[in-house]
Amino acid sequence: MNRTLLIPSLTILLLAGCVDNQLVAYGTDENYLNFNHPFTDKAIADVRDRAERLCGQRKQVAIQTSKVCSLSQCTTNYQCINQADVIKYGL
């Protein structure tokens, strides 16, 4: 393998292990956000803030649709929804 590709690839891989919460799935043409994060109050708040920020860029509201946790890790899903739909459906 080319050394120019190997060093940056290893650096990215090592730094990815330092991330507390990881956005697993998010496309600019989709309105779903999937996060993997530690089961801590800080990580849960950070994920919520990040979801609100990403949805806010679209002028939408972040609604938590599900959260599944083990003793150490969680997967939390959000959906970006228009404010009018939040009011209409009582979300």
- Indicate whether this model's pTM tops 0.85: no
Quote the pLDDT of residue 49.
95
- Cα separation, 43 vs 57, whole angstroms: 21
pLDDT, tens digit, 9 for 90 and up, residues 4-54: 555 555 445 444 445 576 766 666 677 899 999 999 999 999 999 999 999
Quote the pLDDT of residue 47.
94
Quote the pLDDT of residue 87.
87
Quote the pLDDT of residue 27.
64
pLDDT, tens digit, 9 for 90 and up, residues 53-74: 999 999 999 999 999 999 999 9
- Cα separation, 89 vs 15, whole angstroms: 41
